[in-house]
Amino acid sequence: MATTTRERIVAAAVEMTTASGWASVTMARLAKAAGVSRQTVYNEVGSKPALAEAMILDELARFLGVVEQAFDAEPDDLTRGIERAVSDVLTYAHANPLLHAVVSATHGADTELLPLLTTNAAGLLGVAKEVISARVTPYEPGIDPDHLGPAIDMVVRVVLSHVMQPSGTPEQTAADIAWLAGRVLGGRPAG
């Protein structure tokens, strides 16, 4: 639940984006929807591109919460933790209205948000890799430290690819990714 002014503004922006597209979000409409002045919107989130990034990073925090819960549920098996995390993330993505608004915008002229998930996703990838690294390291994977980072990068990028363009069920995709990750990380392969 949005409690701070900034959270209310970002939540209103998400609601407007999912209802009528990113192009319909103006600072004036957003201020009215959030019950604040236009200047307050600028003070809290800055420009419209900064607002877009705030929306994406807030949603990323929700996705990473799903990842955290999945790893917590599998504290003794890295491969199963990865499988559960991937499955849960893909299931969450399938039902995520903001993600659908961003991805479906590619079929029209409203493509301003998509680069935040694709070509300009450095911030998103960096945060995701940091969280995954922190969760994988305690399992003491059987991979040298110089290759752990690239392995995590690979898994995060593959999962993001499946978030953007699913090619199978969340369960099957998760099993496939976990099998590969288990082989690379030297853990017990799933299945």
What pLDDT shows up at residue 68? 96
Residues 57 and 149 in one domain: yes
Contacts of 105 (CB under 8 A, 6+ apart): 21, 22, 111, 112, 113, 114
CA distance 179 to 191: 7
Determine the longest span between alpha carbons in the chain, in angstroms. 56
Yes or no: say if 16 and 60 are a contact pair by the CB < 8 Å rule: no
pTM of structure = 0.82
Residues 27 and 101 in one domain: no
Yes or no: say if 79 and 188 are a contact pair by the CB < 8 Å rule: yes
What pLDDT shows up at residue 108? 45
The encoded tokens of residue 65 equal: 């919460």
What pLDDT shows up at residue 131? 93
Residue 25 structural domain: 1-46
What pLDDT shows up at residue 160? 87
Is position 99 within any domain?
yes
Residues 141 and 159 in one domain: yes
What pLDDT shows up at residue 117? 61
Is position 129 within any domain?
yes
Residues 26 and 119 in one domain: no
Rounded average pLDDT per 10-residue block, the chain, 191 residues: 86 91 90 96 92 87 94 95 96 88 56 61 82 93 91 92 91 96 70 48
Residues 98 and 159 in one domain: yes
CA distance 112 to 121: 13
Residues 40 and 101 in one domain: no
Is position 190 within any domain?
no
